Amino acid sequence: MPPLHTADLDLDVDTIVFDILGTLVDHTAGLRAALAQLAPDPGQVDGLVALWGRRISAEHRRIVDGERAYAPGTVLDREAAREVAEAAGVSGPGAVDTLVRAARQRPAWPDSADALARLGAGHELIGLSNADTTDLLRMNASAGLRWHTALSTQAVGSYKPDPAVYRLAIDSADRPPGRMLMIAAHAWDLRGAQAAGLRTAYLERPGGDPPTAEDRFDLRLGALAELTGAPRP
């Protein structure tokens, strides 16, 4: 497959598949704000946010590997909230509830909504997220994200990078995967998409998972404006 260039996007790609958490929304913003209020030591916040992320990622991996039966994000979030509350030295169900609610407050990055509007004029747009279906719909509405199709991994009872997740997007688009471009701020996600035959673009975002020297993605973007031609926010 020849290399993909941003100038050739309209010719080579029919469908653009976006990761959402971390790629189009700041997925730790609400959690970080809540921990800044709850944690006795403000210096704990970064470590506690990282602990939450590690717990969720580990449980996703256990489910993908068949070591644990599928559990929806609502269950995993509450488990992570208990662990983080304990590590922060705050107790009681109120703290756990506060963290669970806060973790779902995810504002869009400044360029996300405009980029979707511009790209959606000429391409089918699919959102593909580890968020539960209900959570995904609420997040899209609150962040102002508009799709032709929004897909939750809940539909296949697994999480990225399970190959079934990327097949879900391919089947939904009903196109050859080589005509589809996956955009994400997480190299591990793009590796899964690449293995399924999708074209791939890494988007730099704060807190993302950058490519290694061995990764060979089609594009590396410093901002979505490189695809849309819009001014950087």
Element containing residue 17 per DSSP (H, E):
strand 15-18
CB 201 within 8 A of CB 194: no
Written out in words, the top-level CATH class of the domain with range 6-27+107-228 is: alpha beta
pLDDT at position 192 = 98
C-alpha distances in Å from residue 145, one per residue of 28, 131, 150, 153, 190? 18, 14, 10, 18, 21
Confidence of residue 9 (pLDDT cuts 50, 70, 90): low
3-state DSSP call for residue 87?
A: helix
Query: pTM score, two decimals?
Result: 0.93
Max intra-chain CA distance, the chain = 56
Residue 166 CA to residue 196 CA, distance in Å, equals 6
| Res 4: pLDDT | 67
What average pLDDT score do residues 132-157 get?
Answer: 96
For residues 164 and 196, what is the distance between their CA atoms, to the nearest angstrom? 9
For the segment 13-60, what is each residue's pLDDT rounded down to a tens digit?
Answer: 999 999 999 999 999 999 999 999 988 787 899 999 999 999 999 999
Instruction: Name 130's Cβ contacts closer than 8 Å, sequence gap at least 6.
Output: 21, 60, 73, 152, 153, 159, 160
Amino acid at position 143, single letter = A
- Give the C-alpha separation, 123 to 126, whole Å: 10
3-class secondary-structure state, position 28: coil
Q: Is the pLDDT of residue 159 over 80?
A: yes
169-196 confidence digits (pLDDT tens): 999 999 999 999 999 999 999 999 999 9
